[in-house]
Chains A and B, each alone.
Chain A
Amino acid sequence: QVQLQESGPGLVKPSETLSLTCTVSGYSISSGYYWGWIRQPPGKGLEWIGSIYHSGSTYYNPSLKSRVTISVDTSKNQFSLKLSSVTAADTAVYYCAREGGNLPNEYFQHWGQGTLVTVSS
Chain B
Amino acid sequence: AIRMTQSPSSFSASTGDRVTITCRASQGISSYLAWYQQKPGKAPKLLIYAASTLQSGVPSRFSGSGSGTDFTLTISCLQSEDFATYYCQQYYSYPTFGQGTRLEIK
CB of A105 within 8 A of CB of B94, answer: yes
A20 to B83, CA, bound (A): 31
CB of B95 within 8 A of CB of A105, answer: yes
Interface CB pairs A-B, < 8 A, 22 = A45-B100, A46-B87, A48-B94, A48-B95, A48-B96, A61-B94, A62-B1, A62-B94, A101-B49, A106-B32, A106-B49, A107-B89, A107-B91, A107-B95, A108-B36, A108-B46, A109-B46, A111-B43, A111-B44, A111-B45, A113-B42, A114-B43
Within 8 A of B (CB), among A40-66: 45-48, 59, 61-63
Our pick among A46, A59, A107, A114 for the contact of B46 (Cβ within 8 Å) is: A107
Which chain A positions have C-beta within 8 A of B100?
Answer: 45
Chain B CB within 10 A, most for which of A47, A63, A100: A100
Which chain A positions have C-beta within 8 A of B93?
Answer: 105
Closest to B93 in A: A105
Q: How far is the CB of A94 from chain B (nearest CB, A)?
A: 11
A45 to B44, CA, bound (A): 11
Cβ of A112 within 8 Å of any chain B Cβ, yes or no, is yes
Q: How far is the CB of A102 from chain B (nearest CB, A)?
A: 12
Q: How far is the CB of B10 from chain A (nearest CB, A)?
A: 13
Seen from chain B, the residues whose Cβ lies within 8 Å of a Cβ on chain A are 1, 32, 34, 36, 42-46, 49, 55, 87, 89, 91, 93-100
Q: How far is the CB of A70 from chain B (nearest CB, A)?
A: 14
Which chain B positions have C-beta within 8 A of A107?
Answer: 34, 46, 49, 89, 91, 95
CB of A48 within 8 A of CB of B55, answer: no
CB of A95 within 8 A of CB of B87, answer: no
Which chain A positions have C-beta within 8 A of B98?
Answer: 45
Which chain B positions have C-beta within 8 A of A95?
Answer: 43-44
Which chain B positions have C-beta within 8 A of A48?
Answer: 94-97
